[in-house]
Structure 1
Amino acid sequence: MAKTPRAIFEEVQTGERQKAAATGSIDKAGQGARGAVRLWLIVLFVLVAVMIAVGGMTRLTDSGLSITEWAPVTGAVPPLTEADWQAEFAKYQEIPEYIEQNAGMTLAEFKSIYWWEWGHRQFGRVIGLVWALGFAGFLVTRKMPRGWTGRLLLLGALGGLQGAIGWWMVSSGLRDGMLDVASYRLATHLGLAFAILGLIAWFTFRLGRRESDLLQARRGGEARLFAGATGLMHLAFLQILLGALVAGIDAGRAFPTWPLMGSGFLPPDPFQLEPLWRNFFEDAGLVQFIHRMSGYVLAVLGIVVWLRTRRSPNAATRLAFNAMLAMLALQIALGIVTVLYSAPWQVAILHQIGAVALWVLILRGRFLARYPRLQSVRGASR
């Protein structure tokens, strides 16, 4: 039987082959349980954000040195008997913080700071367990999206490193002459926490969109806006590290005046320590001054980036940077109030939580600058 000639525009692929090429088939291969992985990351994000707040309260209550040993496994069990409590208290009584600052502290007072530090460490163990169970579960059930194993393994590795850095930080406060942890180690510890939080947020943003959508969206990305948001992200991270240096030496209480520092623009005698480099970490006036100046630069850059978004054709991107600018203004106001009232713990912890919110909003704006949401001619996002 002779074959019927095909028309010029006849569809060549038919039947099963045509179904395989249907729209969205590229997203069906190797995508795994993207929604479940994203939900797991959201849980991790909330836990890490709470952990940052708990860490801030641990510092504000001077509880961080109450546990003088690093026991990742056995340390999960707190003292259970009176003899156990006396033994822990005896260890604390041997460190400089007790001898020079808290001499005469009662066992009941020691318990209150001990529970803060124990809770902080226990919360870290919970985060590690949630990561391990989720990661193993997705691997065993073969629900891990293609290309995500290494990224999610990185989160676990950074979490383990964070635990080690936490002890490195605490150990610095146990040495002779130290009443608190070394400020630069505190900055390292907090900086890594924000880096982990940022990675979780970025991964969550990516998993919220199909890979094909991201590929298409990147073609319409706004390169200059993305570059500006990247610079803003880096400066915000630097400001977070500087804030940790301020917190590490209680520099927030040094000059309760604004906009001047005392009676002048510069703090008095900002370079009195020897060698010179110590002033940038240990002089309360200079450290607070640098934190203030960096904040002003961050505010200016934030406004510049926001003004650039006014020309963006993408409504979701403009909205994201509106939220960023509003949070930036609130964070600056919280910083000023923190200084004027000599850093009361209620305001100080709000300032730290504000840093978390601002950090995530900057990352969200940066993500939408790289991967704008598609929208119709009428402006409705898709």
Structure 2
Amino acid sequence: MSHANSTLHFNKQYDLQIAYWLLACAAVIFGMILLGGVTRLTNSGLSMVEWKPLMGIIPPLNHADWQELFFKYKQFPEYQKINAGMSLDAFKSIFMYEYLHRVLGRFIGIIFVLPFLYFYFTKRIKPGLTPKLLLMLLLGGGQGLLGWYMVKSGLVDNPDVSQYRLTAHLGNAVLIFGFIWWTALGLLSTPKPQQAGLNSFAYVLSGLIFLMILSGGLVAGTNAGHAYSTWPLMGDSFIPAGLYSLQPAWLSAFEDITTIQFNHRMFAYLIVALVLTFAFKALRAEISKPVKIAVWCLLGLLALQVTLGISTLIFYVPVPVAAAHQVVAVALLSASLFISHSFFHSSGQPN
């Protein structure tokens, strides 16, 4: 084997190591998004009223510790206005969801930072990749701060977090996940020619699915999923009364639960129509077998997501179904990004 081929093989081996590390990080973040959804759905997010980035990893170790944490919780509006009279055992239940959510966040930081330092100091990171990894690290650190900024909004007079901050927190988590997934794909894949003409369609579809997830964040943040538990009608009609009734009208898209749920439904119909159109075009085009498989996965995940979305509504937002609805949205985005990356990569663009 020549020196050039040996070096190429050596570098490819490092790329694969980094890709597998990034995929492991992405998998844990995927679980983190699921746990975050469960934390929100069980109304557990305001059970920890302090933010201790270092000492906060130590759980309550005895009855006195639990009593102290419960006493602190009682000083805030959620207990006083919603959970007055709550037992210590009930508090333990909601506390553990939020505690595990925060601990998993710290764990993600560890499994990202330590391997990054190892790869960096052993010079295994190829040129141009280090800035991307540092950006991931920056976004991850910002996510922790954004999480606490969100929690703080519910520790005032109104015991509910801001839907704007919750949507930003969810959106940043999905952005980090997508960024890591895309980067790992660039390290794993080799360019294969795909039929031109679908590139822009694939990119737009990925962007719209991301916006759809943000729309879901607004639904979760305002509890708009409880507003109408019927489908395909909202109450007695397809277009409910009172849409965009706030002043100014655009504010309704962010603060009126009827408008928020209606927009989420309309966004869903748009995504379904576009995915079906894209799949029809893609499966008739000259695309590689992995991309064809990804298109079929996209269709399967879409069918599952629609089923979960309708079930979430008509069964009045059961926690397992609603949590699955959130996390399958991220899986749908993953499949879409894989397809987009395949077109992006095959067109000769950089990773």
Band of TM-score, shorter chain: over 0.9
What is the percentage of aligned positions where both structures have the same residue? 42
Which stretch of the first structure deviates more once superposed, 188-197 or 274-283?
Answer: 274-283
Preserved CA contact (<8 Å) 2:205 2:274: yes
Preserved CA contact (<8 Å) 1:254 1:342: no
Query: 1:137 and 2:111 equivalent?
Result: no
Preserved CA contact (<8 Å) 1:257 1:340: yes
1:378 corresponds in structure 2 to none
1:243 corresponds in structure 2 to 216
2:179 corresponds in structure 1 to 199
Report the TM-score when normalising by structure 1.
Answer: 0.86
Deviation at 1:26, TM superposition (A): 7.5
SS in 1 for 2:308: helix
Letter in 1 for 2:149: W
Which stretch of the first structure deviates more once superposed, 278-287 or 180-189?
Answer: 278-287
Task: Name the Cα RMSD after superposition.
Answer: 2.0
Which stretch of the first structure deviates more once superposed, 316-325 or 349-358?
Answer: 316-325
Name the CA distance, whole Å, in 2 between partners of 1:85 and 1:276. 46
> Which residue of the other structure, out of 320, 330, 346, is the alignment partner of 1:356?
330
Deviation at 1:146, TM superposition (A): 2.8
Deviation at 1:200, TM superposition (A): 1.2
2:306 corresponds in structure 1 to 332
Please list, as runs of the form range in 1=range in 2, the aligned pairs for 1:120-199 lying within 5 A after superposition. 120-176=101-157, 178-199=158-179
Preserved CA contact (<8 Å) 1:65 1:170: yes
Report which structure shows greater RCO (CA 8 Å, sep ≥6).
Answer: 2
Which stretch of the first structure deviates more once superposed, 138-147 or 164-173?
Answer: 138-147
Letter in 1 for 2:270: V
Q: 1:298 to 1:152 in 2, by over 3 A?
A: same
Query: 1:49 and 2:30 equivalent?
Result: yes
Deviation at 1:281, TM superposition (A): 2.1
Query: 1:257 and 2:230 equivalent?
Result: yes
Q: Which runs of 5+ in 2 are unaligned?
A: none
Query: 1:225 and 2:198 equivalent?
Result: yes
Letter in 1 for 2:284: R
Cα-to-partner distance string for 1:79-106 (whole Å, 9 max, x where unaligned): 2233322222122112211111101011
Cα-to-partner distance string for 1:35-67 (whole Å, 9 max, x where unaligned): 211111121011100000110110111100001
Preserved CA contact (<8 Å) 2:44 2:95: yes
Preserved CA contact (<8 Å) 1:31 1:146: no
Preserved CA contact (<8 Å) 1:229 1:362: yes
Please list, as runs of the form range in 1=range in 2, the aligned pairs for 1:64-83 lying within 5 A after superposition. 64-83=45-64
1:94 corresponds in structure 2 to 75
2:281 corresponds in structure 1 to 308
Cα-to-partner distance string for 1:350-373 (whole Å, 9 max, x where unaligned): 111211210100011111223359
Preserved CA contact (<8 Å) 2:14 2:125: yes
2:65 corresponds in structure 1 to 84
1:6 corresponds in structure 2 to none
Deviation at 1:185, TM superposition (A): 0.9
Q: Rg bigger for which structure?
A: 1
Aligned residues: 346
SS in 2 for 1:371: helix
Letter in 1 for 2:22: L
Deviation at 1:191, TM superposition (A): 0.6
1:295 corresponds in structure 2 to 268
Q: 1:346 to 1:29 in 2, by over 3 A?
A: closer
Preserved CA contact (<8 Å) 2:32 2:105: yes
Preserved CA contact (<8 Å) 1:169 1:182: yes
Name the CA distance, whole Å, in 2 between partners of 1:77 and 1:310. 52
Letter in 2 for 1:286: T
Letter in 1 for 2:161: V
Preserved CA contact (<8 Å) 2:195 2:286: no
Query: 1:365 and 2:339 equivalent?
Result: yes
Letter in 1 for 2:267: S
1:7 corresponds in structure 2 to none
Name the CA distance, whole Å, in 1 between partners of 2:117 and 2:30. 23
Preserved CA contact (<8 Å) 1:328 1:358: yes
Report the TM-score when normalising by structure 2.
Answer: 0.93
> Which residue of the other structure, out of 19, 36, 39, is the alignment partner of 1:58?
39
> Which residue of the other structure, out of 243, 247, 255, is the alignment partner of 1:270?
243
Cα-to-partner distance string for 1:148-183 (whole Å, 9 max, x where unaligned): 11111111111001001101111111111x221111
Cα-to-partner distance string for 1:255-280 (whole Å, 9 max, x where unaligned): 11111100012223234445544422
> Which residue of the other structure, out of 257, 263, 288, is the alignment partner of 1:284?
257
Q: Which runs of 5+ in 1 are unaligned?
A: 1-15, 374-382
SS in 2 for 1:193: helix
